[in-house]
Amino acid sequence: MTPRFFPYRPTRLRLLLAAFAVVGTAFGTAAFVRAAQGSPTASARAVAGLALSVAFLWLIWRLRPREGYGVRVDLAGAELCRALDGRPERLLWTQIETVRQLGRWAPRWELILSDGSRRELPRALFSDPAVYADLGRVLSHPERGPGGDA
């Protein structure tokens, strides 16, 4: 099996988070205007709206495309890069018991490991549906190496 890389490119998710950041900023700014007019609870609403905006902007920054950010599949197994912190996690084929697709509205691949833990790869992390489907195909049916123990 030739090594393959499936990059995370959450373009739509980042656009949705950007829209939420703009809405939070608008709510926070409007609340600051009301606070200047003497509304007693408006300053708390303003801080909450702007804090949400900062949180959305932080998520946009953490989900940016970068080198090695995705899923690498090779003869030995798969290396999953964690979505928010970017740390890789190596899974051998012997550790992966089952791969199945879950979710109708938010599809995701679920990897069930031999120790009972689970890893999920949501569709939102991939910009192209074909890349997402191809990843599921490769994870579900890895090519067998010499000796048949992939």
pTM value is 0.78
CA distance 70 to 63: 11
- Residue 149 resides in a domain: no
- Residue 1 resides in a domain: no
Q: Residue written as tokens 């990843």?
A: 135
Q: For each of the chain's 150 residues, which pLDDT tens digit applies?
A: 678 999 999 999 999 999 999 999 999 999 989 888 887 788 899 999 999 999 999 999 999 988 888 999 999 899 999 888 878 899 999 999 999 999 888 899 999 999 999 999 999 999 888 999 999 989 988 775 444 444
CA distance 35 to 16: 28
pLDDT digits (tens, 9 = 90+) for 79-120: 999 888 878 899 999 999 999 999 888 899 999 999 999 999
CB 111 within 8 A of CB 105: no
Helix (H, G, I), strand (E, B) or coil at 15: helix
- Residue 95 resides in a domain: yes
73 and 132, same domain (yes or no): yes
78 and 135, same domain (yes or no): yes
CB 121 within 8 A of CB 103: no
- Residue 43 resides in a domain: yes
**CATH for 124:** 2.30.29
Domain range for 35: 11-62
The total of structural domains in the chain comes to 2
- Residue 6 resides in a domain: no
Please give the pLDDT value at position 114: 92
40 and 74, same domain (yes or no): no
